[in-house]
């Protein structure tokens, strides 16, 4: 009997085989929507150039809005799969349960292996339906736990009061504990906040891998994030806007630090 691998296992296997922990964020500046072909061509060129140095590709609104989920983006997702890469959609699902379920169903139908969701909406009639859809299809759900921009402190960094125990706790610590309880496939913690990575890793251990965006363009340092406990680095502009994307991806890959 052949057992299908879940997303969490698939990306770990790809990372191990390729000896890299880099997830390519395939993000580009605004392009005139009338010239979508040029944007698609640029995205495909970068993906092809760096594919051997990354273990997954993350898609955000930068491509989904101009190229379309079931048009250019699905073609790029299929191309990523052809190259043995996992595909993650950064949709930051953050709605009522029924809407979240439909969001997940559409993105998984487009071929994505995992999506990123916001735990602020809670579990019951919030993220539970999207987890159910994902895990039924061997896909993954990665939770936003602490974002990489300065304003993240206003939400993810706030102190909250547990309504059951009336104890005070940092919002991001509460989210990390939910990632464990909900059996999330990953947690996003900005590489710009290595101290937060370390604190959240203390909660998650090796059960929920940490994905860290913000390396390079936002000031995060790859090795600082790794030492603090990040399992995967999400890198966008540092690679996509480099003069030599392949060389930049190669330099950032774990092969250069082991």
Q: Which residues are catalytic?
A: 92
Here the tokens at position 200 are 């959240």
> Cβ atoms within 10 A of the Cβ of 16, count?
11
**What are the DSSP E strand ranges found in 40-107?**
56-59, 86-93
What is the DSSP code string of 238-253? HHHTSSSHHHHHHHHS
**What are the DSSP E strand ranges found in the chain?**
22-25, 56-59, 86-93, 114-117, 140-146, 159-161, 168-170, 186-189, 210-213, 232-235
Q: Is 88 helix (H, G, I), strand (E, B) or coil?
A: strand
Contact (CB, 8 A) for 215 and 221: yes
Angstrom CA distances, 132 to 55, 68, 147, 182, stand at 25, 25, 25, 11
**With 0-12 CB in 10 A as exposed, 13-18 as middle and 19+ as buried, what is 35?**
exposed
DSSP one-letter code for 113: S
User: How far is 159 from 170, CA to CA, in rounded Å?
Assistant: 4
């Amino acid at each position: 009997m052949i057992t299908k691998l879940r997303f969490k296992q698939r990306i770990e296997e790809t990372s191990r085989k390729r000896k890299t922990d880099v997830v390519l964020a395939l993000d580009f500046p605004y392009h005139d929507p009338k010239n979508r072909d040029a944007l698609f061509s640029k995205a495909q060129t970068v993906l092809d150039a760096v594919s051997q140095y990354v273990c997954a590709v993350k898609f955000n609104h930068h491509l989904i809005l101009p190229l379309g989920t079931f048009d250019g983006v699905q073609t790029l997702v299929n191309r990523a799969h052809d190259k043995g890469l996992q595909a993650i959609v950064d949709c930051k699902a953050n709605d009522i349960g029924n809407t979240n379920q439909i969001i997940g169903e559409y993105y998984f139908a487009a071929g994505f292996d995992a999506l990123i969701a916001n735990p602020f909406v809670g579990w019951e009639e919030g993220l539970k339906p999207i987890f159910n859809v994902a895990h039924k299809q061997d896909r993954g759900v990665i939770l936003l736990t602490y974002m990489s921009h300065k304003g993240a402190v206003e939400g993810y960094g706030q102190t909250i009061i547990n309504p059951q125990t009336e104890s005070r706790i940092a919002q991001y610590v509460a989210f990390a504990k939910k990632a464990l309880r909900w059996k999330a496939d990953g947690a996003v913690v900005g590489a710009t906040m290595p101290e937060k990575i370390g604190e959240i890793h203390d909660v998650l251990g090796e059960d929920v891998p940490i994905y860290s965006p913000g390396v390079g363009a936002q000031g995060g340092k790859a090795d600082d994030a790794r030492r603090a406990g990040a399992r995967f680095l999400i890198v966008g502009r540092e690679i996509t806007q480099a003069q030599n994307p392949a060389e930049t991806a190669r330099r950032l890959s774990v092969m250069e630090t082991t």
